[in-house]
Chains A and B, each alone.
Chain A
Amino acid sequence: MITGFILRALEGKIVAMIVVLVGIAILVPALNLLTPPDSAFHIPTYAMALFGKYLCYALLALALDLVWGYCGILSLGHGAFFALGGYAMGMYLMRQIGPRGVYGNPVLPDFMVFLNYKELPWFWYGMDWFVVAMAMVLLVPGLLAFVFGWFAFRSRVNGVYLSIITQAMTYALMLAFFRNDMGFGGNNGLTDFKDILGFQVQADGTRAVLFALSAIMLALCLLVASAITRSKFGKVLVGVRDAESRVRFLGFRVENIKLFTFVVSAMFAGIAGALFVPQVGIINPGEFAPANSIEIVVWTAVGGRGTLIGPIIGAVLVNAGKSFFTGAFPEFWLFALGGLFIAVTLFLPKGIVDTIQHGFRVRKAMKAAAEAEKGRVGTDAVNPSAAQAAE
């Protein structure tokens, strides 16, 4: 049953993308660690860390594509799930600092000593165990998505109203995490990490492993997403997107279908956040900012929603553009991002990947038509609107 479920996921483009990701997971760390710094093939550590960050964003965009591209739920709050996954990882990393903090308290992280905490708040218990922290990376975003979705989908909140309340959700969390008495480091968030599983976070080897893990987790989540969308459940999902009432009157529980997808998507986002934090070295409430969640939508739209690989490409390209622009012309980045979104909406409404696919289909159809005409083979096969039909 499970093997059939996974085998179905292995479609041409998905396999190609998984191969590329696994290749990146091996090649980039190898070039970073094994080549001398003056070699033409050497990838500097800062570049690897930057690229690793893009891969985390790509996973986040993939998560959004699952709910937006396939189920029609435009979430403007996916940054919240990402940040929660990040905070879970951050709490683990904070507890690993131990007595090496500025105040030297073996249990309490520095910010707690500074804020006169006498003991560890209950929700920090167990977070010094890696397994517990990793479980929280999945459970906390998943649980929030479950509770939120339970109420929203059951009361049939749809379309723009749902988008607005997801945005409100991430905004409310941002305000909450900014407060010092929440016990998450307030304004400054969690930072100054030392070790992860006993390895130095800043060491080149650790960074290489974190990078490889980001690429592998992305490939794994892509596989799961592909298996979901290519199953009958995935077809129902698209049905919900295109004709929700029809699905309901066929006897499906639309609220359960949406809830499952929303929770899976939130967990993907949580994983992305957890991989992001050790590579970037900090997590703070700024990650909950509504603008972040909207940027995810831009990446997904640019790459092509409803394609799974589109959002991955979109996230990497837009963020590479962002790194370049904020370096070269810092004042213009927001204009460039806005312009990009408008241009994609106007000229590539299906995003990069779908537009390329469409181009290939049209060329194939035109070639077939031309060949049929030239050879006059099976004249009835010549369809004057073959290119159109291929759409």
Chain B
Amino acid sequence: MNTIAETRTKSLLYLENVSVSFDGFKAINSLSFVVEPGELRAIIGPNGAGKTTMMDIITGKTRPDSGTVLFEDSIDLTKKDEADIAQLGIGRKFQKPTVFESHTVWDNLELALNRDRGVFGTLFYRLTPEDKARIEEILETVRLTHRAEEYAANLSHGQKQWLEIGMLLAQEPKLLLVDEPVAGMTDAETAETAILLREIAKTRSVVVVEHDMGFIRDLGVKVTCLAEGAVLAEGSIDFVSSDPKVIENYLGR
């Protein structure tokens, strides 16, 4: 693991020997994993490989039993809770699209904006011209300008996924964790989403968990394959998908 330790100083996110178990089941087993600033990374792996648990650990929902989790080489994420970590600049998209259905698309983005999130800050908040411009810009990016005044409940599944990505953008995170963004999307929507994520990754780091191999090929980025809570293989999609261990554990023969 020398190579991992060397990459630490210039890392954005750094996990070393992280383990967590639930009732004796090792969901994550001495996992080490590094994301560099500006990197777009895909994670694949069979069900139960620990992909979502890993995201839970990074975002403070689950505390690891042991190991190091550092953000920007100095901040220990295992000591923080979800709200702290979100404010540090880590955004998370859930597997199932989770938006505020009884609010309009615009209000969803307004709530997500990276502004004072305290009780009194929000009580007396007023929409400034800068915030308005920012929301319009995000609406453009996630292709929802024409539906800004629509209730989020009335959006299609794919549009909800995009709205959620838009909310993450409004948070202005340094690192975006995206869990299965194209599950349940049409082929056209999937291709659009790949373009969208590549666009987003120009200005920040993105980690995408996905099962859709075609989508990952579209992204054309470094791939990490997890299995049984540890890294099985890491590299280009062609390198990973030709690895005999990956074929046996995940892709099948």
Contact = CB atoms under 8 A, between A and B. Distances in A.
Contacts of A389: 154
Interface in A221-263: 228, 231-233, 235-236, 238-239, 242-243, 245-254, 256-257, 260
Contacts of B98: 243, 245-246
Contact of A232 (B59, B92, B94, B125): B125
A142 to B, nearest CB: 15
A249 B171 CA distance: 10
A231 B92 CA distance: 25
Contacts of B124: 1-2, 4-5, 231
Nearest to A259: B119
A243 B92 CA distance: 14
Given A236-B111, A250-B86, A242 B122 contact: no
B125 A231 contact: yes
A235 to B, nearest CB: 6
Interface in A36-51: none
A247 B87 CA distance: 12
Given A4-B124, A231-B125, A235-B110, A242 B119 contact: no
Given A253-B83, A256-B118, A239 B103 contact: yes
Most buried by B among A2, A231, A242: A242
Contact of A238 (B86, B102, B110): B102
A389 B150 CA distance: 10
Contacts, number: 79
Contacts of B114: 251
A52 to B, nearest CB: 31
Interface string B171-199: 10000000000000000000000000000
A301 to B, nearest CB: 18
A243 B171 contact: no
A232 B110 contact: yes
Interface string B97-132: 011111100010011101001110011111000000
B234 interface: no
B62 to A, nearest CB: 13
A238 B103 CA distance: 8
Most buried by B among A5, A233, A257: A233
B122 A239 contact: no
A253 B102 CA distance: 21
Interface in B223-252: none
Nearest to B177: A249
A250 B112 contact: yes
A239 B118 CA distance: 15
Interface string B132-173: 000000000000000000000010000000000001000100
Nearest to B98: A246
A62 B160 CA distance: 33
A228 B123 CA distance: 7
A253 B100 contact: no
Interface string A76-105: 000000000000000000000000000000
B16 interface: no
B72 interface: no
Contacts of A231: 122-125
B64 interface: no
Given A233-B119, A239-B103, 11 more contacts: A5-B123, A231-B125, A233-B122, A239-B111, A245-B98, A246-B98, A246-B100, A248-B86, A249-B91, A250-B86, A250-B171
8 contacts: A232-B110, A232-B122, A238-B100, A243-B99, A247-B111, A250-B117, A252-B117, A254-B83
Interface of B: 59, 82-83, 86-87, 91-92, 94, 98-103, 107, 110-112, 114, 117-119, 122-126, 154, 167, 171
6 closest Cβ pairs, A-B complex: A251-B86, A233-B122, A232-B125, A233-B123, A251-B87, A232-B122
